[in-house]
């Protein structure tokens, strides 16, 4: 009875919150970093690298300590966040190649569509990594369709996949930027294309060598994943990427300052290859990995400055987060391991990117909304899959729950009015984990315990794992055999969620 009352009260609060906010339509900016770990920034405990702008954001906002991506890698996390459907329900949503077809097709609910329906101008700037074009991949030399423009974004300035995957070009709306039609782009992830040097055949041409993978076509002195030829005038310079994406994000804000806008600003930092602009080189003392954290912090500062300058800070909700946990050596010899200098990218957590342990998916998550969201720290359980339903409630929109079955309205938790948040959190790293009331269950799996390449503990174990995170956040004491009742409860719930879309 008490529980029903509480649920009713929360529901009412959600409805009231939604209705009140939909009349004033505050802007929403999501700054989504890449591979930034729970311990990588000052406000989450980092001491060796300085992130004053992100720390300032956290100080003025609500900093979450139990917020999660849906997956321990990029494509599935982004898929879940933008569609409200766990990526693991859709085969083919693992880390996408650079020429993958669009994974999110028109005709379904999406996060940007929710805002578009509510009358917002919507934009995406930065890393996409959710495929483009029809089956077989996009035509890089013509109109690219489907693209973000077909699933709810009014404006798009993106890179197709990752910094380490071809094609190394920017795509603005439907076209590759600065493309010379007499030098068409061809891309292949299957066989060599054209006759440009590769990292494998011509390592002497590399300015940053690979440690594993990344030995295909050399672009800007760096070996990439995949083969590319043509498009010489359109190729990016890694050193300028943060400047270019940041200026596009700021331009979008400036252009739309008079109307409500939603900006999904997805930085290429701090993913590999880590190639900061000259002015950030050496700034962290931790080599390129630290320097791109400093660069990311600069980016966040520029967005904040633009909001201040345009007098929009009060009326803009800024969400800052990351798409998966940290990795130190992700395939290039950039001295990340040697120069860590005692820095702990995962903070107190175990594992990292690719891992079923919590560092794979527990990420920094900050919500700043001056005057509306009380500054502080929240331990509420939050999942990025809930942004869709929460912002639908916020803007007074409905969405199609058949295409967005997993997203829930967690507005009250996101705005700091509910301290508990979600009932459970599903984490996916190939292996499934379930988090509930500080209990963490990792299902048995046969995969390797360690990734030798990245030196990450993957969390795989043929035996079930059960941890009490309230006492053991670092997941070191497996309680599965001593707590059979709790274990069974978690196993049953996970099965139910997987089967019934709970």
Q: Which residues would be at the binding site for Ca ion (CB under 5 A)?
A: 34-35, 74, 323-324
Considering the rule CB under 6 A, would residue 63 count as an interface residue with ligand NG6? no
Report if residue 73 touches ligand NG6, rule: CB under 6 A. yes
Cα 349 → chain centroid = 18
For residue 131, state whether it binds ligand NG6 (rule: CB under 6 A).
Answer: no
Please give the DSSP secondary-structure letter assigned to residue 100.
P
> Which of positions 433-492 make contact with ligand NG6 (CB under 6 A)?
none
Could you tell me the smallest distance in angstroms from the CB atom of residue 127 to ligand NG6?
8
Among 90, 212, 277, 420, which residue interacts with ligand NG6 (rule: CB under 6 A)?
212
Q: Pick from Ca ion, ligand NG6, none: which does 164 bind, CB < 5 to 8 A by kind?
A: ligand NG6
- Listed in sequence order, the residues at least 6 apart from 7 whose beta carbon sits closer than 8 Å to its beta carbon are none
| Identity of the residue, 74 or 385, whose beta carbon is nearer to Ca ion in the bound complex | 74
User: Is there binding between residue 82 and ligand NG6 (CB under 6 A)?
Assistant: no
| Residue 141: CA count within 13 A, CB half-sphere | 12
Pick from 74, 160, 303, 367: which binds ligand NG6 (CB under 6 A)? 74
Q: How many CB atoms lie within 10 A of CB 482?
A: 10
Closest by CA to 94, choosing from 72, 112, 109, 111, is 72
CB of 74 to ligand NG6, least distance (A): 3
Residue 87, burial from CB neighbour count under 10 angstroms (0-12, 13-18, 19+) = buried
Give Rg (Cα) of the chain. 22
Going residue by residue from 327 to 356, which x/- string records binding to ligand NG6, judged by CB under 6 A?
A: ---xx-------------------------
Dihedral sign, Cα of residue 488, residue 494, residue 495, residue 496 = positive
365: helix, strand or coil: strand
Minimal distance in Å, beta carbon 309 to ligand NG6?
Answer: 32
**Nearest alpha carbon to residue 99 among 219, 183, 224:** 224
Secondary element (H or E) of residue 326: none
Q: Report, in this order, helix, strand and coil percent for the chain, each rounded to 5.
A: 30, 20, 50
Q: Name 30's bridge partners.
A: 264, 319
Nearer residue to ligand NG6 within complex by CB, 95 or 310:
95
Cis before 482? omega within 30? no
Rounded to a whole number of angstroms, the minimum distance from the CB of residue 323 to Ca ion is 4
Least spacing, CB of residue 199 vs ligand NG6, in Å = 11
Comparing CB distances to ligand NG6, the nearer of 345 and 416 is 345
Binding ligand NG6 (rule: CB under 6 A), the pick from 31, 208, 225, 480 is: 225
| Segment interacting with ligand NG6, rule: CB under 6 A, options 110-118, 170-178, 209-217, 249-257 | 209-217
- Distance, C-alpha 160 to centroid of its chain: 15
Our finding on whether 428 is near ligand NG6 (CB under 6 A) is no
Residue 34 CB, nearest approach to Ca ion (Å):
4
User: Which of residues 253 and 387 has its CB atom nearest to Ca ion in the complex?
Assistant: 387
Residue least distant from ligand NG6 (Cβ)? 213
Choosing from 21, 32, 35, 68, the residue that interacts with ligand NG6 (CB under 6 A) is 35
Residue 95 Cβ vs Ca ion, minimum distance, rounded to whole Å: 9
Peptide bond into 270 cis (omega under 30): yes
* Chosen from Ca ion, ligand NG6, none, partner binding at 212 (C-beta under 5 to 8 Å by type): ligand NG6
Closest approach of ligand NG6 to the CB of residue 344, in Å: 20
Residue 219 engages ligand NG6 in binding (rule: CB under 6 A): no
41: tokens are 């920034």
Longest dimension (CA), the chain: 72
Q: Of the listed pieces 22-30, 212-220, 252-260, 278-286, which binds ligand NG6 according to CB under 6 A?
A: 212-220
Number of residues that bind ligand NG6 (CB under 6 A): 17
Smaller CB separation from Ca ion, 272 or 366: 272
Rounded CA separation 328/344 (Å): 10
Contacts with ligand NG6, 267-306, as mask; x by CB under 6 A: ----xx----------------------------------
Give me the least distance between CB of 12 and ligand NG6, in Å please.
Answer: 40
213 near ligand NG6, rule: CB under 6 A: yes
Tokens of 66: 């139990």
281 and 293 Cβ atoms separated by less than 8 Å: no
Partner residues linked to 378 by β-bridges: 64
Q: Which residues contact 452 (CB under 8 A, 6 or more apart)?
A: none
- Residue listed under structure tokens 């009250």: 412
> What is the footprint of ligand NG6 within residues 138-197 (CB under 6 A)?
162, 164
Q: What DSSP letter does each residue of 211-262 carry, written as one string?
A: SSS--SBEETTEE-BSEEES-GGGB--GGGHHHHHHHHHHHHHHHTTTS-EE
Positions in the binding site for ligand NG6 (CB under 6 A): 34-35, 73-74, 95, 129, 162, 164, 212-214, 225, 271-272, 324, 330-331
């Amino acid at each position: 009875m008490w529980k029903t009352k509480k649920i009713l009260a929360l529901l009412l609060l959600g409805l009231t919150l939604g209705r009140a906010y939909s009349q004033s339509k505050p802007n929403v900016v999501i700054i989504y970093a890449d591979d930034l770990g729970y311990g990588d920034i000052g406000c989450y405990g980092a001491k060796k690298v300085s992130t004053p702008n992100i720390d300032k954001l956290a100080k003025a906002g609500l900093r979450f300590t139990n917020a999660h991506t849906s997956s321990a890698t990029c494509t599935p996390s982004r898929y879940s966040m933008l569609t409200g459907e766990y990526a693991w329900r859709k085969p083919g949503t693992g880390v996408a190649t650079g020429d993958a077809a669009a994974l999110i097709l028109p005709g379904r609910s999406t996060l940007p569509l929710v805002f578009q329906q509510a009358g917002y101008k919507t934009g995406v700037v930065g890393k996409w990594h959710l495929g483009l074009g029809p089956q077989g991949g996009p035509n890089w030399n013509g109109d690219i369709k489907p693209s973000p423009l077909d699933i709810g974004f009014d404006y798009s300035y993106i890179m197709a996949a990752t910094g380490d995957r071809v094609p190394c070009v920017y795509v603005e709306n439907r076209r590759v930027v600065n493309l010379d039609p007499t030098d068409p782009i061809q891309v292949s992830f299957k066989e060599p294309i054209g006759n440009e040097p590769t990292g494998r055949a011509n390592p002497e041409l590399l300015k940053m060598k690979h440690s594993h993978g990344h030995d295909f076509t050399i672009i800007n002195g760096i070996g990439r994943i995949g083969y590319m030829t043509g498009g010489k005038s359109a190729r990016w310079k890694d050193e300028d990427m943060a400047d270019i994406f940041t200026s596009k994000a700021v331009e979008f804000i400036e252009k739309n300052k008079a109307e409500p806008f939603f900006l999904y600003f997805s930085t290429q930092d701090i993913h590999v290859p880590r190639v900061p602009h000259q002015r950030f080189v050496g700034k962290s003392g931790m080599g390129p990995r630290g320097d791109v954290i400093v660069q990311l912090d600069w980016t966040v500062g520029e967005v904040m400055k633009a909001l201040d300058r345009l007098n929009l800070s009060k009326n803009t909700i800024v969400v800052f987060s990351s798409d998966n946990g940290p990795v130190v050596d992700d395939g290039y010899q950039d001295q990340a391991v040697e120069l860590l200098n005692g820095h702990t990218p995962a903070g107190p957590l175990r594992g990292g990117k690719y891992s079923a342990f919590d560092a794979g998916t527990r990420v920094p998550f900050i919500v700043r909304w001056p005057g509306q969201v009380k500054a502080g720290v929240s331990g509420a359980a939050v999942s990025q899959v809930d942004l869709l339903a929460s912002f639908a409630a916020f803007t007074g929109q409905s969405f199609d729950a058949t295409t967005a079955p997993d997203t829930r309205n967690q507005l009250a938790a996101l705005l700091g009015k509910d301290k508990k948040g979600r009932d459970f959190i599903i984490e996916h790293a190939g292996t499934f984990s379930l988090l509930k009331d500080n209990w963490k269950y990792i299902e048995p799996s046969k995969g390797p315990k360690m990734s030798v390449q990245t030196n990450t503990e993957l969390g795989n174990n043929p035996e079930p794992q059960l941890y009490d995170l309230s006492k053991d956040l670092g997941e070191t004491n497996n309680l599965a055999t001593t707590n059979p009742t709790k274990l069974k409860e978690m196993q049953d719930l996970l099965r139910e969620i997987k089967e019934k879309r709970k």
